Structure 1
Amino acid sequence: MTAQPADAVWDAIYGISRFAALATMAELGFADHLKDGPLSSDQLAERCAAHPQSVRRVLRELASMGFVRSVPEGYEVTEAGLTLTDDSPRSVRSAIRLVREEAYWYAMAKLPETVKSGASAFTERYGPGYHYLAAHPETATVFDDYMARRAVPFAGGLEAACDFTGVRQVVDLGGGRGQILSAVLGAHPQVSGVLFDLDRVIPSGREAMAAAGLADRCEFVVGDFFEGVTAGADVYILANVIHNWSDEDSIRILSNIRSAMAADGRILIVEIVLPDDDSPHVGKDADMRMLALLNGGTERTRTEYQTLLEKSGLTLSEIVELPGWASAIVATPI
């Protein structure tokens, strides 16, 4: 069939239907039920306590997307579908579950209103994102798992791409469960770490670092990087932090680190760096989420990061590409 001008519009519209099928698979645990072998749609519905005919229709859509496939016994999960199991090291189930949250859908649906007013409709209705998570612990658990899973592709990449020779202490600001810090400490026995985050996050970070056998080399600090950070470290890591904040707030965070860091210290800012042209880029999709969910949060280009750093008393030394769309923006004192 000849391509039509509106084809891209229809693909975006029907993409919502495909996402809804994936959200059903993730929320009802289809992949976990299918990972040990094929099931008929009726058997799967029984295990999920779901309506059999509705399950059959969703499976038909998922099969067309490549997450399950038809076999004589019913349906089996594919390699792509296994990424929606809880126990897979490549699991992205929490990402799907987070996006299907009612408040998230509200924010995306209200993007036109956000663009008109310049203020996030989500924030207007629910308050700041981290306040929302504090008030909704079940969502916070999904969010924390999503952030941990999201860090996996670039945690090892950061350790491999950046030189930690001679580094004595690394502070991971907003480090969550410490995936990145664990990779650094695991590869460099001479390094001690500080995991710096909110009080609701630190317990899970402490547990994860203990499971990795690294708790004895890590200090756990509850803090607010708007007020100040651990002083005197050689390296400060900010992963998926700066894009959450306006330029003014970002400069405040970076200036606090600049005041606290060693004279020859570095900041490693792990973020998506947008291209300056109109080429497609996953960061532009992410930027729509930033716009919808946060007042002031934004993905940025190299030039925009360079400006932020200069206003914070820092200089952009280099940008190192990492796996998983992210880059390490290396900043040093001016």
Structure 2
Amino acid sequence: MKTEETMLDVASSADSLGKRAPDPSRILDVGFGFWSSKVLLTAVELKVFTTLSDRAMTGEALGAAIGLHPRGIYDFLDALVALKFLDREGTGANGQYRNTIATTTFLDEQQPGYIGGILEMTNDRLFKFWSDLGPALKTGEPQNEVKHSKTSMFEALYADSARLEQFIGAMTGISRGNFQAFAAKFDFAPYETLCDVGGASGLLSQLVAKQHPYMHCLTFDLPPVAPIAKKAIEKEGLSDRIQVVSGDFFADSLPKADVITMGMILHDWNLEKKKHLILQAYEALPENGALVAIENLIDDDRRKNAFGLLMSLNMLIEFGDAFDFTGADFWSWCQEAGFRRYEVLHLAGPCSAAIAYK
């Protein structure tokens, strides 16, 4: 009671001075943010949105379909309603739950726009690793599987074909919108060939080839990725215009092309390796060729793109010395390599294309 009176006194004093009392809502929202995060991630894990698809279900029916104990059904589903991931008509036992337009589009795994793969991976791996952000900040060391097995994330990933396919599927889902925006916004008119470095499933090459019929593309990645890429490219009927090439971008020269793209590649590495890849690209490009780094580019003043900054912390947890960067950082490294001009092309949400011209 005393605490309540004290808070009222503070508010009254602030009002009398013509000022609004400080509001702790933002602090509490962020501090307890992991609650809502885990609700969404668990909903994806339990296939709530895929189970609903384009139909409505009662809480009891949906709970039974995904194997929930009766105690948690309505708290869980109504939390998803309050968080605006589900719609509901009616209340209680007669209430009917439906997907929202967004969850139908992006979280029903039967839909082409599905991005739940990255959320599945976040739930399986990153959620628990982020509990060790403090040790990561104090030691500068990764806090993922390498902490226990001493095997790097990529070594473990490429040694397990099932995990590799899951990872590539997750990256494909989260990258599709950004790559589609790049294919639509970048001026490809002066160019004929593109090499996507670290191309994974070949998604960027597929989208560029579809948007620009005169472009011939090449997707470049490690040998274990080749069967996955070839399968995806064949499915789209683009095998005659997209070549799959295997190699190691730290051991081999990059294939020559008019445009070299790196989608979410540079942020995986430390400064020395970033500069190595940029120099490799410079040597593989012709005069007037373009290097494109598609990243959650941090704004130069480091005040606005919170997602880019959080992604950089994720790189600390995953790799230790890897980090995300600003456009100004990228341009300084590109100037060292010999590039003559630079621009930033915003794509979607927090993602942009940093472009350097030779």
Task: Give the alignment's TM-score, normalised by structure 2.
Answer: 0.85
Shift of 1:87: 2.0
| Residues 1:90 and 2:113 are matched in the alignment | yes
1:150, CA displacement in angstroms?
Answer: 1.8
Q: Distance in 2 between matches of 1:238 and 1:3?
A: 48
Are residues 200 and 5 of structure 1, via their aligned partners in 2, closer, same or farther at CA, if it must alter by over 3 Å? farther
Residues 228 and 256 in structure 1, CA contact (< 8 A), matched pair in contact too: no
Asked whether the 8 Å contact 2:130–2:317 carries over to 1, the reply is yes
What percentage of residue pairs aligned between the two structures are identical?
23
- 1:167 Cα deviation from its structure 2 partner: 2.1
Q: Spell out the pairing of 1:299-310 with structure 2 (5 A cutoff).
A: 299-310=324-335
Deviation sequence 1:23-67 (CA, Å, 0-9, x none):
121011111211242222221122113323223321121111111
Counterpart for residue 158 of structure 1 = 182
Aligned to 1:312: 337
Pairing of 1:7-156 with structure 2 (within 5 A): 7-72=25-90, 73-74=94-95, 75-82=97-104, 83-101=106-124, 103-122=125-144, 123-126=146-149, 127-135=151-159, 137-156=161-180
| Aligned match for 2:257, one of 233, 255, 258 | 233
After TM superposition, the structure 1 = structure 2 runs for residues 134-283 of structure 1, keeping only pairs within 5 Å, are: 134-135=158-159, 137-281=161-305, 282-283=307-308
* Counterpart residue identity of residue 177, structure 2: P
User: 1:20 corresponds to which letter in structure 2?
Assistant: K
* TM, length-normalised to structure 1: 0.91
Q: Secondary structure at the match of 2:253?
A: coil
- Quick one: which amino acid aligns to residue 244 of structure 2? F
Question: Does the CA contact (< 8 Å) of 1:173 and 1:195 recur in 2?
Answer: yes
The alpha-carbon distance between structure 1 residues 158 and 144, as it changes in their structure 2 partners (threshold 3 A), is same
Structure 1: 5+ residue runs without aligned partners? none
Structure 1 residues 208-227: Cα deviation after superposition (integer angstroms, max 9, x where no partner): 21122111112111111111
For 1:3 and 1:19, the matched residues in 2 are separated by 29
| Residues 1:285 and 2:310 are matched in the alignment | yes
Please state if 1:332 is matched with 2:332.
no
1:99, 1:157 → 2: CA distance? 24
SS at match of 2:204: helix
**CA separation of 1:22 and 1:266: change in aligned 2, threshold 3 A:** same
Structure 1: 4+ residue segments shifted above 6 A:
none
Aligned amino acid, residue 46 of structure 1: A
Instruction: Say if 1:247 and 1:308, in contact at 8 Å, map to a contact too.
Output: no
Distance in 1 between the 2:107 and 2:56 partners? 16
Aligned partner of 1:321 in structure 2 is 346
Change (3 A) 1:278 1:269: closer
d(CA) in 2 for partners of 1:144, 1:132: 14
Change (3 A) 1:3 1:141: farther
* Cα deviation digits, residues 275-310 of structure 1 (max 9, x gap): 233533221222221222122221111221112212
Conserved? CA contact 2:331–2:342, under 8 Å: no
**Aligned-partner Cα distance in 1 for 2:245–2:335:** 28
Between Structure 1 and Structure 2, whose CA radius of gyration is higher?
Answer: 2
Unaligned runs of 5+ in 2: 1-10, 12-19
Residue identity matched to 1:125: H
Mean alpha-carbon deviation: is it higher for 225-234 or for 128-137?
128-137
Letter aligned with residue 336 of structure 2: K
Structure 2 vs 1, CA of residues 168 and 284 (structure 1 numbering), >3 Å: closer, same or farther?
same
Question: Structure 2: how far apart are the matches of 1:63 and 1:90?
Answer: 22
Structure 1 residues 260 and 81 mapped into 2: Cα distance closer, same or farther (>3 Å)?
closer
| 2:357 aligned counterpart, secondary structure | strand
1:308 and 1:228 map into 2 onto residues whose CA distance is 21
